[in-house]
Structures are given as C-alpha cells and as structure tokens.
Chains A and B, each alone.
Chain A
C-alpha cells in the first residue's frame, strides 16, 4: 500500500513544484532584504536569493536532458557566494569597530 503511493508518478514533484519552491525562496529573500535592519540579516536574505538561482540551475538541468552544465554552475555559484560572504563580513566587522552597530538604518554619515 505504502510502496504503491511512493512509486506512483504523482508522488514525485514535477518541474512546476521545484520552480514554485525556488520562486518562494527568492521572494522570501527579497522580503528579508527590504525589511531587515541588521546587515547580517540582509546578507542571509541575499544568500536565499543566490541559492534560489542555484536551485533553478539544477532543476532546469535535471528536467531538460540532464547535461552536466547546470550542476557545475550551481557549484560555482556556491563558491562565489562564499567569497561574497567573506568580504561582506570583513567589511561589517570594520564598520562595527567604528560605530558599535551594524544597523543599516544608522548608515547616514554621507549627506550633502
């Protein structure tokens, strides 16, 4: 009984389910980017956006003939995102030393 449910074609998600998942990830990321005040929170939201892009590549690769291109792209995206986080964190630490906060609403020293 249980085995027949797992083996039925309806149990396995199609490309639409995956795309809804990745769009949801991206939207949650953008929402976090717009509402968070802490710079680290913003960075985490941006990671969600980047990962939704990576997920898109893997999904399209799987459902469009399984060439290896999209999966390799996902690996590179992960590496680039890691580099981005390292740089951003270093800058946040430098900022924290001066202002004792990384609240982005207080970043207003440059006014004309």
Chain B
C-alpha cells in the first residue's frame, strides 16, 4: 500500500506547510503535490501482488492499472488547478481563497480514497473508501462559495448521502444473508432469493448514482454546471472511474456466480443512458451542461472530459476560436472527434472493444442502439466544431492562455492520438485482466 501512504503523507505535508508559510512564498508549494504524485506513480510499479491485513487489502494486476489511471488523473487536475488556486483564473471570486492550497489537500485525500477502493476486499473497507472518494467531492463542488456553486454542492451532498444510505442498507442485507464481510465469500455463499434481489437493486442504484446511469443521473448536469471547471473535469473522469471500480468490485466479486442474471438489467441501463444522454445533449445551451449530458451518454470513455477546462460558459463563447486560438481549436476538435469515435483516435478503439464485448455475449440490439447513438452524438460534436471554425469571431473568444495549460492540452491530445494508434495497450490490459 505504498502509493496510498505516499499520497496521504503528501496531503498532510501540504496542509501543514501551507499553514505556516507567508502568502507570497506559497507559490513554491506547487512542487509538493506534483512531487508526491510523481513519487506515488513510480511506487505503483514496485508493488507486487500480495495480500495484507488478513486479505482485506489486496493487489492484482488489474488493480495496478486502475491505480495508475487515478494517479494520472489527479496529476493532470493538479496542474490544471494551479491558475484556479493562485487566483489568476476568472473563476476565483473570494480574495481569501487566493493561494489556498487546501484545494489540493482535499483532492489528495479523495485520491487516496479511490486508491483504497481499488484494493478493498471486504464490505467495511469498500464502504469507508467509497465514502472517502465521495465526501471530498462535495467540498470541492461548493468551493467557489457563490450562489451557483453552493447550490450545486447542496444538491450533490443531499443526493450523495441518499445514495450512500441505499448502498449501506444493501450491504447490511448481504451481510445478513451470508454472515461474512469478505466480498468473495459473500459471492460464494449467496443463494438467489427475493431478499438478494432487493439488496442488489439497492446497491445497483447506488452504483448508478456514482456512474450517472440514467434513472439516477439527475444530479449530474446541475453539479457539473455549478462546480468550478477543474472540479467538473475531475468529477467526469476520476469520480466516474471510482464508480466503475465500485461496479467491478460488486459485480465480479459479490454477484460473481449469478452475474449472467444481471446482463439484461445492465444492457437496459446502458441503452437508456446512451439514448437519453444524447437526445438531451442536443438541446443544451450551456457548455458545461452539454458536457455533462455527453458524459452521461459516454459513461465509459471519458478522458477527454478535460475539454471542459475552458473558462467559458456558453457554447457561443467558442465562436471563431479557430482564428483567435487555432491550436486550442484544433485540440478541442481532436478531442470531440475522439469522443465521437472517429477511427485514428482513442474513442474508436474504446468503442470497438466495448461493442465487441456486447456482441460476443449476444446483445446485438444493444450494439445497434449504441451505433445509432454514435451518429447522433457526431451531430452535436460537429455543431461545436462549426462554432469554432465557421462562425465569426466574438470579443469573448479572446482570452489569455497560460503555458502550463497549453502544454497540458497538447500532451493530452498526443496521448489521445497515441492510444488510438497503439491498441497493444488495451490488449495488454485485457490480457492481464483475463489472467
């Protein structure tokens, strides 16, 4: 559990050093979170597969990949949030908030929760680490302290608490049915009974909340719109990744033996989510709401959610972006095409793998629905491209671009193209997962 320890130590160090430094010198504090995250990233590769704490905390090959993913997300978000923290971005409104590195402390706590979630093997660890990867997000959402941000935080905290209460009741019934806390033992000793179905519905609704699946997605557009833009990006990538991990843990460990009886429910949820997310995204005016619905529909491949990182709140703000900032417009276009699944980019390979998995277990209608939805999504992604390349320039389109942000954007674009060209990467993950 080396990466977790490093992340936690970094968080506490940052908090206390931040407390005792003068305002002007705090600029140099940036090094602490970045160094800590880099160290944690390296330490993942020195881990070996083993169990600790009596099997409550364990590591398998797939867990290492997930940890790498979460640490990378936090690293990118940490870089992207510097202008927000240092008060150079338009979004910082409180004078007091300037130079508050607590933002990164809370982000790191949240990251540690996600890392623990990956390795959790019993109900107690799973529940506590899930809460640790959810509660800090409420704080981050309400960080701006203006009316919109507070409202988003309020909605998020109330609905999040409801989801965790449902999850808890489901867990308690699993515990009552089997008398053990161990996820794999629960999976082995459950018989399919009405109570088991009831508990499954409760747990699946909590997963649906975390992953913004359709009947449970109502919080997403409001929270994405009200939260600071960096936090929106973090929510759409890392938080959704945590939801995916939770789903892995429950479906493959607890439901393991009876998972085939859940196939139809999963297919139905996925078809509903794709269709509704797409159809509603078409009519959105606010770009963060639009990204929220697009993220709902894309519930799988989200790394390009970072494109929400502009300080813009209406799609019209992107008008004529190709003339004022040609490179940003280009990277945004590549990102949108990647989301839509145009071949040389990462989205295509991701969709290809997902479609082939669905088809190989016989859900051809789901593949058809997904293909139609891809076409619909291309329509509204292209609409944004049209805004950037064909519409005349507006005054609001002119905004300063920092070097760090530009470099970040560039490297993300390169990664998205590379991941599309090198499917070997996915095959390695698939292979390690199957073994």
Contact = CB atoms under 8 A, between A and B. Distances in A.
Contact of B162 (A33, A59, A70, A109): A33
B383 to A, nearest CB: 16
Interface in B195-248: 221-222, 225-226
B298 interface: no
A88 B154 CA distance: 7
B176 A64 contact: yes
B284 interface: yes
A109 B139 CA distance: 20
Contact of B164 (A33, A50, A76, A104): A50
Interface in A27-83: 29, 33, 39, 42-43, 46, 49-50, 52-54, 56-57, 59-61, 64-65, 67, 69-70, 72-73, 76-77, 80, 83
B289 A112 contact: yes
Highest count of chain B CB atoms <10 Å: which of A59, A67, A77, A99: A77
Contacts of B221: 110, 112
A107 B221 CA distance: 14
Interface in B350-403: none
Nearest to A57: B172
A55 B84 CA distance: 43
Given A57-B172, A99-B147, A110-B222, A50 B165 contact: yes
B284 A110 contact: no
A109 B168 contact: no
A49 B169 contact: yes
Contacts of A56: 169, 172-173, 175-176
A2 interface: no
Interface stretch (B124-132, B269-277, B404-412, B424-432): B124-132
Nearest to B156: A91
B205 to A, nearest CB: 12
B124 A72 contact: yes
Nearest to B224: A110
A91 B284 contact: no
Given A53-B172, A57-B172, A112-B284, A69 B181 contact: yes
B97 to A, nearest CB: 12
Interface string B142-169: 1001111011111101100110111011
A57 B127 contact: no
A88 B221 CA distance: 20
A46 B161 contact: yes
B135 interface: yes
Q: Is the interface of A mostly helix, strand, loop or mixed?
A: helix
B74 interface: no
A109 B147 contact: yes
B158 A76 contact: no
Contacts of A109: 147-148, 151
Given A56-B172, A60-B172, A43 B128 contact: no
Contact of A87 (B128, B157, B168, B289): B157
Contact of B181 (A46, A59, A73): A73
A96 B410 CA distance: 41
B164 A107 contact: no
A92 B161 CA distance: 14
Contact of B142 (A43, A65, A91, A104): A91
A69 B123 CA distance: 10
B168 A77 contact: yes
A100 to B, nearest CB: 11
Given A91-B138, A94-B150, A110-B222, A53 B175 contact: no
A91 B159 CA distance: 14
Highest count of chain A CB atoms <10 Å: which of B131, B166, B285, B286: B131
Given A56-B173, A104-B154, 19 more contacts: A33-B162, A39-B154, A46-B165, A49-B166, A49-B168, A57-B172, A60-B176, A70-B175, A76-B124, A80-B164, A84-B164, A91-B138, A91-B150, A95-B147, A104-B158, A109-B151, A110-B151, A110-B152, A112-B284
15 contacts: A29-B165, A46-B165, A56-B175, A60-B175, A64-B176, A72-B124, A73-B181, A76-B128, A87-B157, A88-B138, A91-B150, A91-B154, A95-B153, A109-B151, A110-B148
